[in-house]
Structure 1
Amino acid sequence: MHSTQSPSAFAFSPKSDSAFDDLTASLGDGRPHPTEEALVQLGRALMAELLDVIADTALDDVQTILGEALIGAFHSAAGRIERDADRARDVMRRLDRDFDGSEAADVELQEATARARAGDAATQAAARIRDAAAEMWTTATGEVWTAWRGSRRGSFLSAAQLEAKQAIRAVRERRTDDAFHGGPVVAFRGAPTADTAEDAARIFDALNWALGQWPDMALATTGAKGAEKLAIRWAAQKGVKLILARADFDAHGKAAPFRANDELIALEPVCCFTLGASLEASRSADGRAFGPAMNLGQKADAAGIRRLPLQRRAH
């Protein structure tokens, strides 16, 4: 069944507490701007409709391609609009530098300024649709969208993404700046085969406990399939900041999952959760544990970081 939205779902409102709505209200454009809330609703509705239409159809095999294409379209649009705004700013700087005090020059400068500010607002609008669609994508699938190229300036995901290297720099800055508060990090690595309902329940229980201990926590993981995708889905649902230490196989080859563990440890987590194998017996019949998860546990022990392996509940 296709989901539908009534016209009022995307209403325009003159009142808002958001910085985006304040920006659009200050532009002086006689036409109304959609509110931030309406843009977020639009992004979620577009993704929900896409997933609803292709679910349980032959297109399910290319769901990831279609979902990422929808998000990427708004990412590309935001970039194109931003480049237009940047060109308007270049004109502003030139006109300001060469300003001769004439009325014509003043009008031209005002028009360039208006184009730049309108471009900034439109860029932010496209980014909010993109991020809302990406949030819905993560919540529904456990997958995390990342731009193949270009930046993600101004992310508004409830589970805002950070690259591990960026977060590590913040940790280093914190050591030299006592006023800097980065918040606690909880690291997690789990087996790709640990994706059953029993695994999900155990992972969610553990992370819920961690959130109770550290309400301002961030979740750090590599984003690998299986258990770690379940953890990412939890972060999206809870609005917990997500730090991704992706395994770079191009740079590190087979050692990439273990180098990613080094990045997780460098974040100085308050604890490390590990799940070496699925808790469902049929998935872990061979008795082999997932090496990268075990390696993270070993590195946590060596660094004096609390390690909490997830195990089947005692009955």
Structure 2
Amino acid sequence: MTFITHSTPATKTGSAFDDLAASLAEERPYPTEDALVQFGRAIMTELVDLLSGTALEDHQTMLGESLIGAFHSAAGRIERDADRARDRMRALDRDFDGSEAADTELQEATARAHGADVAARASELIRDAAAQAWTVSTGEVWTAWRGSRRGAHLTAAQLEAKQAIRAVRSRKAGEADPGGPVVAFRGAPTADSAEDAGRIFDALNWARTQWPDMALATTGAKGSEKLAIRWAQQKGVTLILARADFDSHGKAAPFRANDDLIALEPEVCLTLAQSVAEARSDYRPFGPALNFGQKARDNGMRHLPIRAR
């Protein structure tokens, strides 16, 4: 596979990434955004094609998610390098004595910070392109296991629930505004049929007409909540994940995750406790979804259960 590796010429208006890369005083060219996206899609497509129909296909999900996660981890590590460089910049600026040596050191720290910003963005572009190709090839949705994730042109941002909760509390104290209203969704893992997807998307599309700048909050559980995550990614809607922490809370983890969703103070709580598909009508309702609806009502929040047409 061959990828274009030269930055967009200064005379041509490129993407935000290309413009940022071109603004740096770097003699070596940066890959273009198009090349990075092409690379991310290609490596994921190659992996799926390689594993399909082989004995390793049983482990395809683990391998695919780990590959995407590697670029996510790299972006985080590079961002931390950039933060350290910025800390050094602030210290040098504070103690600047006007000497040539101090000026040179400050310029070097600035260049390291800006270079790391571009490198982190490049990792994010590859990650998001690979994640999109993963969804197209397998129908599965990748989400970052830990921490928040900035959005690229392919997907919206993903936020850690605890960070979002702190932002809500800060807003009340007048310290910060976390953004738009939250719509929370909790659904059964078995509610993943075409009929379920249609009803979930209908409900979320309705919510978006009510709150155009909404963020979607869910636990990221398999089945119906993965369908909701796919909707958010397709619509460019910010995603807040309140993951169930089974290591800390054991069997109570799905219900503790409900508490985190409630703490976000959603405008409306949507639930799909049972598949709307007739063939699955005998499945037991999903307890955590029922519990979430009850907690919403107990806290005076609007609760709308999703039902068949």
Pair in the same fold by TM > 0.5: yes
Which letter maps to 1:74? F
**Retained in 1: the 8 A contact 2:191–2:223?**
yes
Displacement, 1:307? Answer: 1.2
Q: Secondary structure at the match of 2:285?
A: coil
**Candidates 141, 144, 160, aligned match of 1:143:** 141
Q: 1:7 to 1:301 in 2, by over 3 A?
A: same
Deviations 1:34-80 (A, max 9, x none): 23343234323332443344345443311211212221332344456
Displacement, 1:131? Answer: 3.0
**Candidates 60, 67, 71, aligned match of 2:68:** 71
Displacement, 1:256? Answer: 1.1
Report whether the alignment pairs 1:242 with 2:244.
no
Superposition pairs of residues 101-250 of structure 1, within 5 angstroms: 101=99, 113-138=110-135, 140-147=138-145, 154-156=150-152, 158-177=155-174, 180=177, 182-250=179-247
Q: 1:249 to 1:283 in 2, by over 3 A?
A: same
User: Percentage identity across aligned positions?
Assistant: 66
In structure 2, runs of 5+ residues without a counterpart are none
Q: 1:251 to 1:83 in 2, by over 3 A?
A: closer
Equivalents in 1 of 2:80, 2:258: separation in Å?
37
TM-score (norm 1): 0.81
**Candidates 257, 260, 274, aligned match of 1:277:** 274
In structure 1, runs of 5+ residues without a counterpart are none
Q: Secondary structure at the match of 2:253?
A: helix
| Aligned counterpart, 2:254 | 257
Q: 1:301 to 1:7 in 2, by over 3 A?
A: same
Q: 1:165 to 1:108 in 2, by over 3 A?
A: closer
Deviations 1:3-45 (A, max 9, x none): x8x867x774234465533332122223332233432343233
Deviations 1:74-126 (A, max 9, x none): 23444565576678779879998798946x88667655654554344223322
**Retained in 2: the 8 A contact 1:159–1:235?**
yes
Deviations 1:199-242 (A, max 9, x none): 11111111111112211111111111111111111111111111
**Retained in 2: the 8 A contact 1:141–1:233?**
no
Displacement, 1:130? Answer: 1.8
| Aligned counterpart, 1:27 | 24
Displacement, 1:194? Answer: 0.8
Once the two structures are overlaid, the 10-residue window that deviates more, 107-116 or 138-147, is 107-116
| Aligned counterpart, 2:8 | 13
Aligned length: 304
TM-score (norm 2): 0.82
Aligned-residue CA RMSD (Å): 3.3
| Aligned counterpart, 1:305 | 301
**Retained in 2: the 8 A contact 1:135–1:236?**
no
Report whether the alignment pairs 1:289 with 2:305.
no
Q: Secondary structure at the match of 1:69?
A: helix
| Aligned counterpart, 2:35 | 38
Q: Secondary structure at the match of 2:60?
A: helix
Q: 1:98 to 1:153 in 2, by over 3 A?
A: farther
Q: 1:55 to 1:204 in 2, by over 3 A?
A: farther
Equivalents in 1 of 2:102, 2:170: separation in Å?
46
Q: Secondary structure at the match of 1:289?
A: coil
Displacement, 1:189? Answer: 0.8
Which letter maps to 1:59? L
